[in-house]
């Protein structure tokens, strides 16, 4: 509840819960996640807090996701039409763009979590542009504020100023991350202006949740 009220203090009125889905490491069942989500939304309603908490997942690019792609059962923001995706930072998955093309042909929008972390994109602006053309890109506010490393900060900031970042999100794992999120929002306001704050944290996230690519 501290995290929900902390995010509300930062101005969020919709908070997407995206628990990890990662084979062999963190793969709670969808039933367990569903019941935790029900408990949280009930507690929020009981306290009269004016916030909605849609449930999705942060899907690691692995065998579980592959199976779910095949069976069209990816846990996403909007049924299974929009979903959050991450991969390991050190290399791009083999066949990534072919698989994304296939998903887009099926009317599914991948949303890339913390794109600033992917090392192969740091020196490949063409690949970054291509990925941003196919997917929605959501930078981590904590990276913008410099809490996740110098190179990640540089990349996240370049993406916001250059337009390949469509949205920003808190990646909140504990109440301690709230200050990083606040600092990230302040960075956007200071360097890119209030319009950018509205675009990255209001307008574009709403488009994404509606299944639309922000540039589409």
For Fe ion, the closer of residues 148 and 207 by Cβ is: 148
According to DSSP, the β-strands at 109-113 and 58-60 are unpaired
Half-sphere exposure of 158 (CA within 13 A, CB side): 16
Among the residue ranges 36-44, 81-89, 104-112, 147-155, the one whose residues contact Fe ion (CB under 5 A): 81-89
β-strands 20-21, 58-60: how paired?
parallel
Minimum distance of Fe ion from residue 58's CB (angstroms): 5
116 counts as binding Fe ion under rule CB under 5 A: no
Smallest gap from Cβ 145 to Fe ion, in A, equals 17
62 is a site residue for Fe ion (CB under 5 A): no
Name the segment binding Fe ion (CB under 5 A); options: 68-76, 113-121, 129-137, 152-160: 113-121
Cβ-closest residue to Fe ion? 86
CA distance 69 to 166: 24
The answer to whether 113 touches 138, Cβ cutoff 8 Å, is: yes
Nearest to residue 81, comparing CAs of 55, 58, 103, 52?
103
Q: With CB under 5 A as the contact rule, which of the stretches 67-75, 111-119, 174-182, 195-203 interacts with Fe ion?
A: 111-119
In whole angstroms, the minimum distance from the beta carbon of 188 to Fe ion comes to 20
Shortest distance in whole angstroms from residue 20 CB to Fe ion: 7
Beta strands in 135-186 (DSSP E): 136-140, 167-169
CB of 140 to Fe ion, least distance (A): 8
Question: With contact defined as beta carbons under 8 Å apart, do 209 and 82 qualify?
Answer: yes
Cα distance between residue 192 and residue 74, in whole Å:
34
Residue 86 within binding range of Fe ion, rule CB under 5 A: yes
Quote the CA–CA distance of 66 and 74 in Å, as a whole number.
Answer: 9
Shortest distance, CB of residue 112 to Fe ion, whole angstroms?
10
**Which CB, 114 or 182, lies closer to Fe ion?**
114
Site for Fe ion in 19-48 (CB under 5 A): none
Which positions lie near Fe ion, rule CB under 5 A? 86, 113
């Amino acid at each position: 509840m501290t995290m929900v009220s902390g995010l509300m203090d930062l101005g969020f009125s919709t908070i997407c819960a995206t628990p990890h889905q990662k084979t062999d490491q963190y793969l709670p069942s969808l039933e367990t996640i569903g019941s935790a989500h029900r408990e949280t939304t009930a507690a929020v309603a009981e306290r009269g807090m004016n916030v909605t908490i849609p449930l999705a997942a942060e899907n690691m690019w692995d065998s579980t996701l592959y199976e779910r792609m095949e069976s069209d059962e990816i846990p996403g923001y909007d049924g299974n039409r929009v979903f959050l995706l991450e991969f390991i930072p050190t290399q791009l998955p083999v066949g990534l763009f072919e698989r994304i093309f296939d998903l887009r042909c099926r009317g599914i929008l991948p949303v890339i979590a913390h794109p600033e972390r992917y090392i192969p994109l740091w020196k490949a602006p063409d690949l970054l542009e291509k990925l941003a053309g196919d997917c929605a890109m959501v930078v981590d506010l904590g990276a913008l504020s410099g809490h996740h490393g110098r190179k990640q900060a540089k990349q996240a900031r370049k993406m916001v100023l250059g337009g390949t970042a469509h949205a920003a999100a808190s990646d909140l794992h504990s109440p301690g991350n709230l200050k990083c999120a606040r600092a990230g929002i302040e960075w956007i306001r200071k360097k890119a202006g209030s319009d950018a704050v509205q675009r990255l944290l209001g307008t574009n996230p709403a488009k994404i949740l509606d299944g639309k690519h922000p540039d589409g």
